[in-house]
Copies of this chain bind each other. A is one copy, B any other.
Amino acid sequence: MPKPSPKFAGNKELASLGAAIRAARGEVGLSQEALAAEAELGRGYVGGIERGEHNLTLMNLSRIAKALGKRPSVLLAAASL
């Protein structure tokens, strides 16, 4: 599992995307574990994304969005990005 990106620690954009992903996960009633399994990503990694610790790639964003039943652009817009 990728280590948190210290370079991006406290990054506002990553933090707001993480919060938007957490909110969307709550809306569909998925646990972090279930979202990680659906997106085929590690649970710890998904937790780190929600905390804004990872500078995730487009394909991982796309996997998470699909698992949440949303478009990647909608997740970014929900994070004001």
Contacts and interface: CB of A to CB of B under 8 A. Distances in A.
Interface string A52-81: 000111110110000000011110110001
Contacts of A62: 13, 81
A5 to B, nearest CB: 9
A11 B74 CA distance: 20
Interface string A17-59: 1000000000000000000000000000000000000011111
B81 A13 contact: no
B58 A14 contact: yes
10 contacts: A13-B59, A13-B62, A14-B59, A56-B57, A58-B61, A58-B81, A62-B81, A73-B74, A73-B76, A76-B76
